[in-house]
Every structure is written in structure tokens, then in C-alpha cells.
Amino acid sequence: MLPGPTNVPNRVTNAMSSPMINHRSDDFRTLYKDIIAKTKVVFETENDIVLLTTSGTGAVEASVVNLIKKDDAVIVPVNGEFGTRLADLVDNVGGRAIRITAPFGENPSLEKIKEAFEINRNVKALYAIYNETSTGTTLRYMSELGKICEDNDTFFVADAVSILGGDDLPVDKWKVDICVTASQKALAAPPGLAPMSISKEAKKYMTENPPATQYLNLKRYFKYFEENFETPFTPAISLFYAFREALEIITEEGMRNRIERHRLCAKALYAGLKELGLAPFAQEDARSNVVIAINYLQGMDDKKFRQILSSQFRVLLAGGFGELKGKVFRIGCMGEVTGYHVMRTLSAISSTMEMLKVPAQGEGLSVAHEILGTK
């Protein structure tokens, strides 16, 4: 129950045992074209897709080094560790990050973002962490950000590493120029791949203004795909097979059904945890459906709590990090999560609380079961 890597279906794992192929062959071109077509469905876009053999951070960095130049003004809402890292990355490549901050657990005000556009002319891009994994918060005004960027002739970039495939993100409808995610989270594939969607306008800019880098130079990826349906460098072919199978599973379930499943499981987790006396770290209007961050109660030691969960109940949760280390634990409600995972996790947490002599206030399982129904 981590916020990545998540559980990988056997079908996906088995796909990695496919025979190795030449990445300059027709077999590979067929595989790659199929992945690109399926990825467009998941992203809900007609934009170009690039599939990097990197972590999600690699795709985020690729978006920055290919788009942001010296002294470019970039608005970045910051309310957690990954927003902080992104703003720092913009500064590190020579851009000027305009940080719109909010206390961890809350979302930056939409009005403050609008004000930033009024105060700062010629803003190059708005980078938004759609789901802040460190705090369990989700921006619920992404579609409005897309309109603001369109009105201001500004690139809109969405870091959707921990949420795409688990919550709404219609890339074209929300006018997202660059959207990045990672294979090991809500898409339920092994780690190591990072798909990106790139609009015509962003592609044109990147092609005309390539970065001083090689591996993350997206102009090369566009060129190789358009000319030969290939990647410029050797990709992780076994992971490509696994990723295609994961995308096929998503297609079979349907994006609407998948998003509703995540929403229902999150609702059951929040309700069950509340019944146990545990409070979410994030404010109610900012709470994520894919990463549930929970405050520790008095007497709940982070290391002991998660160690008992792992060793006694075989349930693996994540702790907090950065400013939240030792203060919260985080549940990944993403990928293949179902009612079974919700109920087992709540049962394990309740039992662990008893073992730590931190009594639960109520019966979390019955509340969650009522919400889940037969799911």
C-alpha cells in the first residue's frame, strides 16, 4: 500500500519475460506504436507522446530543461516536497521560479496564482504538481489553470507522476501543454518508464530551441519516432512489454471505471480511518484520492508502527519525509487497489494500534464496508 511502487498484476510481470528484441527492428516498432496509441487513450490526448526510460523525476527534469531558458519566469504552486524540488529545478537551470506557497496540507489559493500573472508579465510557464505525494494533497482547480494559461499565452505543465490513471486528467480538455507521469504508481506497472504528452506548441518550441543536453533532449525523441517509430537511445525493452500490458488492463477496465474505483476506495479509507480516531493531514478540500496522508496519534511511533504492520500483517505503508518525517504515514490508494486492500489495511492498522496500546475510537471496518458495498 505504498504511493509507489504499487502492486503489479501477474499479467504485467509475466509480460517482462517476453524474448528480447532489437530496438531497431520491426518488432520493436510495432510494440512502440502500440504503446503510444494506448498511452494517448490514458492521457485523453491527441498530443505527441514520448516514453522515457527514467523515473518520474527524469520526465519532470526533461520538461524543464527542454522548455525553460535563462531568466524565464515560471509560476510554481508550492505546498510540499515535490513542489519545492520543482521550483528549485527551475532556478537551477537559470529560470526564475515564482513560488505561490501554502502551508503543507493546503492548496495555494487560485486567486494568488491569478495575481501572480497580473504582477509578472511574460510568464513562460505554469508548473503544477497535480498531486503532492508528500502531503496527500491534490489541486482541484487544474482545469481553471489551463484556462488561465491559455488566456496569458503561457505553457501549462502538469506533474501528474502520482495521479494519472487514478483521478481525472483529460489532457486536451484541460489544455495541458506538457503532462508527465511514471509507470510505477497509478498505472500499476514496474518502475523505470516515464511517459510524457507534449502539445504542438510546446513541441514546436522545443524543436526550435533544443537544450544543451543529450539523453533528455526531446527533439531527438520526436525525430526518431517520426522517421522510424524508434527511440534515440536503447530503451528498457522488457519494461516496454510490461507497460503495454498494464495499459491494456486499463483499457479493459475503462478510465471512468478506474477513476471511480480509486475514488470509492479513498472514500472508504478516509471514513474507516476517521472511525479509528485518525485524522488526515490534508485539509478536506485538498485531500487526495491516491495518497492518503494521516497524522500520527500520541503514542504511535512511526518506526514501530510501520514495522509491526509489515512484519506481523504484511501491509507496507510509507512514512513521511522532509518536514513530515515521523509525523504522518501515507497509504497508496492507487493502481490495483480494491475493497480487499482497503479492508485488509484498515484491519491491520486497527490491530497495530491495539498492540501499541493506542485504542481505536470506533469500528473502522464496518464503516468502510458499508461504503464499498460489494466492491
Tell me which of 3.40.50.10240, 3.90.1150.10, 3.40.50.720, 3.30.450.70 is the CATH number of domain 255-372: 3.90.1150.10
Spell 1-19 as b/e; 16+ CB within 10 A means b. Answer: bbbbbbebbeebeebbebe
Q: Where are the domains of the chain?
A: 10-253, 255-372
pTM reported for the whole predicted model: 0.96
Per-residue pLDDT of the chain (375 residues; tens, 9 = 90+): 999 999 999 999 999 999 999 999 999 999 999 999 999 999 999 999 999 999 999 999 999 999 999 999 999 999 999 999 999 999 999 999 999 999 999 999 999 999 999 999 899 999 999 999 999 999 999 999 999 999 999 999 999 999 999 999 999 999 999 999 999 999 999 999 999 999 999 999 999 999 999 999 999 999 999 999 999 999 999 999 999 999 999 999 999 999 999 999 999 999 999 999 999 999 999 999 999 999 999 989 999 999 999 999 999 999 999 889 999 999 999 999 999 999 999 999 999 999 999 988 878 899 999 999 865
Bridge-based pairing state of the strands 123-129 and 155-159:
parallel
Contacts of 318 (CB under 8 A, 6+ apart): 2, 3, 329, 330, 331, 332
The CATH topology of domain 10-253 is Aspartate Aminotransferase; domain 2 (3.40.640)
